[in-house]
Amino acid sequence: MNNTPVNQPLASIARLIEENNDFTLIMHVSPDGDSIGSACALRLALMAMGKRVQAVCDGDVPRIYRFLEGAEDIIKPNDARITSAAIAVDCADEGRMGAAGETFAQAKHTANIDHHVTNTMFAQHNAVEAHAAAAAEVVKRLIEQLDADFGANIATCLFCGLVTDTGNFAYSNTTPDTLFAAGELLQRGADNALINRAVYRSAPVSKRRMLGLGLIKAEYLHGGKVAVCKLTRADFERFNARDEDCEGIIDNLRDVENVEIAMLIREKEPNVYKVSMRAKEYANVCAVAERYGGGGHRLAAGCTVRGELEALAAELTEALIQAL
C-alpha cells in the first residue's frame, strides 16, 4: 500500500484483490469509454500483480475504443469462466451487466465500483462515489492503493474514461478532483492526443450519416425546450450502421439553442427501445429514467422500454416536459 488516504470501501476491495488470484471484470451493456477504460485499466493493474483476469462484456466494444490496451481481449459472457471473485465496473445495478450478471452471481466474492447516484449496492463490497465524474476516478484511487505497476498504458485507459464521461471536461460533473486526477494521469504518461484522435477525430462514414439523419429526424417540442429523435432498425439498415454509430447524436440535440432536454429513442429489436436522455442545466432526467426502470445521473440518464414506438415516445416526452 502507498500513502494515499484510506478510503474504506476501496480498502475492502483492495484486500479482496490481494487475497484472491482469479478475477472477472464486468462492464455494462452498450459499453462506453468510461466502462471500457476503467475495466481495461484495472485488468492491466491486476495482471501486473500476477493475478489471472478476464474482462467480460455483454456487447461489442465500439471501434473508437479498440485502441485501448486490452480492449481486444474483452470476451462475451458465453466465453467466460467462473472465477473466485468478480468486480462490476460502472454498473449502477445488476441488470446493467446483461448476460454477464450470471458470471458475477456465481463468484464467491463480489465487488461493485461505480459513480452513479442510482447504484443499488448489489455486491458484497461497494465503492460507489456519486461525486466522482467517472468510474475511472474511483478505479484510479483503487489502483493507487494496490502494489501494482501504474504505467502509461493504465493512465491512458483511465484518462479515456475521464474524457468521455465529462465531455472533454466540459460537463458540470467535472470537479477540481477530476482535473487533479487528469493532471496526475498525464504525468503518468496518459496519451491525450491519441485518445482525442481515436474517439473524436476518426468517425466512420456510417456514424456521420447517422448523426445527419438524427438531426434531420429530430422534433423540437414545448417551445423548443425538448428535442426528440426516434431511430428505427430501418434507419440503421439504410446506412449499414451499428448501435455505436449513434454515439454523439444526443449531445448534438442537447446543444441546440434553447433545448433543455434531449431524448434519443433507438430501436434495439422489435418493440424494444433504448432511451437516452440528456439535460443541459436544471432538469432531472434521472428521475424520469428511474420511473421506467433505468437510472443514471441528474443530467444524463437512460432506460430500456417496450411497446409501440409512437405511444412510448409520446408518453416519455410528456414525462420530460413535466421534468422541466
> What's the grid cell of residue 185?
494521469
Task: Please report, for the domain that includes residue 44, its CATH number.
Answer: 3.90.1640.10
What would the mean pLDDT of 21-29 be, rounded to a whole number?
A: 97
Give pLDDT, residue 275: 97
CA distance 104 to 112: 10
How many angstroms separate the most distant Cα atoms in the chain? 58
Residues 155, 188 contacting (CB under 8 angstroms): yes
Q: Describe the strand order of the beta sheet including 300-306 as a list of residue ranges.
A: 219-221, 226-231, 261-269, 272-279, 300-306, 295-296
Look up the domain containing 157 and give its range.
Answer: 8-200
- The pLDDT tens digits of the residues spanning 155-181 come to 999 999 999 999 999 999 999 999 999
- Per-residue model confidence as pLDDT tens digits over 216-235: 999 999 999 999 999 999 99
Provide mean pLDDT across the span 279-288: 96
pLDDT of residue 194: 97
Average pLDDT value for residue range 35-48: 98
Last residue of a domain, one of 165, 200, 235: 200
Query: Is 1 within a domain?
Result: no
31 and 66, same domain (yes or no):
yes
**Residue 3 reports pLDDT greater than 80:** no
What does pLDDT average to over the chain? Answer: 95
pLDDT at site 51? 97
So what's the pLDDT on residue 1? Answer: 43
Please state, in angstroms and rounded to a whole number, the distance separating the CA atoms of residues 5 and 3: 6
Q: Is residue 2 part of a domain?
A: no
- Rg from Cα positions in the chain: 19
Considering only residues 149 and 9, tell me which one the structure prediction assigns the higher pLDDT: 9
- Decide if 218 is inside a domain: yes
Q: What is the structure's pLDDT at 21? A: 97
Q: What's the pLDDT at 283?
A: 96
| Per-residue pLDDT, 148 | 85
Q: Is residue 3 part of a domain?
A: no
The pLDDT, as a whole number, for residue 7 is 72
| Domain end position, chosen among 200, 220, 253 | 200
Question: Does pLDDT of 82 surpass 70?
Answer: yes
Instruction: Give the torsion sign (CA, 291, 168, 26, 264).
Output: positive
pLDDT value at residue 277: 97
The pLDDT assigned to 294 comes to: 93
Q: What is the CATH number of the domain that holds 210?
A: 3.10.310.30
Q: Which of 169, 200, 231 is the last residue of a domain?
A: 200
- Binning pLDDT at 50, 70 and 90, where does residue 6 land? low
